Amino acid sequence: MNGASTGPVGNQAAYAKHRGVTRQAISKLVKSGKIPFTQTGSRIEINFAQADKALGQTIDPSRALAAQSASQPIGKSEPKDDLFDQPTVTTADVGQSGEQGTDYQQHRAAREGYNAEIARLDLEERLGRLVDKQDVEESMVTAGRHIRQGLDAIPGWSDEIDAAARNGGVNAVRALLKEKVRGLEEMIADSLVVLADDDSGGQT
């Protein structure tokens, strides 16, 4: 499933503000490949929902508006140097009372877009796991069929065993059975190797 991405998108500074950390902290994560981003020329853009999902720390991008208005003066929040030290979530400064209605609508739209993108990513993740599970199950069925065919062939050994007993006695029968069992073991091992290759995507 490759639906178009939605939700808030911004540069590293904007995402740092969203997370309540310094721009340098986000830059380190970008350089280390820990968060996804798109780049056009020298401009780097980050989808907030995708980055939060990659970090395993999803948040509500509109929550900070109410928290900031109720509990702290505007502009007093301190960004953290480390994304993982439980930062205080911040957003753009709240405007004067006449602008708060617009701010509310903007933050509501950001929240809805963010939640929609998180839902899309969760769905893709679940669908991916279902596809992987189906592939494994199909490989197990194929391997089981091959093993079953090998086991079903055992009764067909009777004529060869009888001939070996008549011509060479117990030692001949023992040698024949060792050869047959060795071939059966190799067939089972080959079936399990194919199953392991399918499970790992054919990588060696």
Average pLDDT over all residues of the chain: 75
Q: With contact defined as beta carbons under 8 Å apart, do 50 and 121 qualify?
A: yes
Measure the CA angle with vertex 33, ends 28 and 35; round to 5°. 85
pLDDT for res 118: 78
Query: Which range (60-64, 172-176, 177-181, 187-191) has the least confidence?
Result: 60-64
Count of CB atoms situated within 10 Å of the CB of 83: 20
Q: With contact defined as beta carbons under 8 Å apart, do 23 and 16 qualify?
A: yes
Higher pLDDT, 102 or 168: 168
pLDDT mean over 66-88? 48
Residue 21 DSSP code: B
pLDDT for res 71: 45
Buried b (16+ CB within 10 A) or exposed e, 128-144: eeeeeeeeeeebeeebe
pLDDT mean over 42-48? 90
pLDDT for res 58: 62
48-73 pLDDT per residue, tens: 888 888 888 666 555 544 444 444 44
Higher pLDDT, 137 or 13: 13
Q: Is the dihedral of CA 51, 53, 57, 63 positive or negative?
A: positive
Query: Which range (45-59, 93-107, 128-142, 157-171) has the least confidence?
Result: 93-107
The CA–CA distances, whole Å, from 131 to 1, 4, 137, 184, 199 equal 11, 21, 10, 32, 11
- Nearest residue to 23 (alpha-carbon basis) of 14, 13, 33: 13
